[in-house]
Structure 1
Amino acid sequence: MSRYRPPAPKSSPYITPEGAARLRAELDRLWREERPEVVRALADAAAEGDRSENAEYIYRKKQLGGIDRRIRFLRRRLSVLKVVDRTPAGTEQVFFGAWVTVEDETGAEARFRIVGPDEFDQAPEYISMDAPLARALLKRSPGDEVTLELAAGRKTWLLLEVTYEAPD
């Protein structure tokens, strides 16, 4: 049995200004606050003696490695991201950054914002533009229906509203 895993599909390089600011703030916090603190704790643990049996030293090395991996990822990702800071010309259609309201077959309504894959976890009402529902909604107008094949069966949504202003 092989340990090979195919590479993950490339995610879209778009991000909102708020999402980009959050990623930059995380990078700054990791570099200026967390990393120096862990390096100091690692140096203190290393000064205690035998490193091979020093649990604090081993823990801090792993912690530092995790912080350094995240810093490298953020630097690489921020260099390729494209900040979308303007609304599209056709605001009656769904594009990146749109707040959409949909209704499913049972009449339940849902409101969410279509954002980049690097920021969909910032708020519960955000979904990634790479998600199947978001892809199905792109370039649609209010009144259009979208249908997706899901594991549980086919599901249909009616697009009720598209706006580019944040809800109150």
Structure 2
Amino acid sequence: MYRDQLGRESFVFRRRKPEDDFAATIYNRVAEQARTAELFESCGIPDTLDGRFDSLALHAALMIDRLRREPDGEPLSQAFFDAMFRHLDLTLREIGIQDLGVGRRIKIMAEGLHGRALAYREALNDGPTPLAEVLRRNAYGGRSPQNSEVVARLEAYVRDYVRLLGATARNDLIK
């Protein structure tokens, strides 16, 4: 027995992959971090649905890059992605999105995460667009941030978070 995407118990047998539980736990930690008050109060991310998704996408992209460095990084990062989108699917349904609209919105969110992840990765690897500009375009819920100071604080936060993730052992990521 397992729980499906809506949290219902199901008697269909499905072999769980060893990384599923680990990735789901990491996703929960990332989601908590993405809701940290500092991000909304001092870094200027708007506390709206779009702003919260942008914060989650930022943190998820950074975690996926971190997970990919593990020996089993591809299946582990895929399990993380799957856990994230199972949660987002459930969340959309809970806020009243009709069944027919959920799939379309999930697709848009997945594409948004992918685009942001590429932009963040490139900027953090000294690509042509500075990280501050990438954050300005992608981390503020579709709104321009109030001023460059909030973007600078978010950039410092992101760089610190990336360093922390890089220095954290795999099994400590869930703490």
TM-score class normalised by the smaller sequence: under 0.3
The structure where strand makes up a greater share of residues is: 1
| TM-score, length of structure 2 as denominator length | 0.25
From the CA coordinates, give the structure whose radius of gyration is larger.
Answer: 1
Using CA pairs below 8 Å that are at least 6 residues apart, which structure has the higher relative contact order?
2
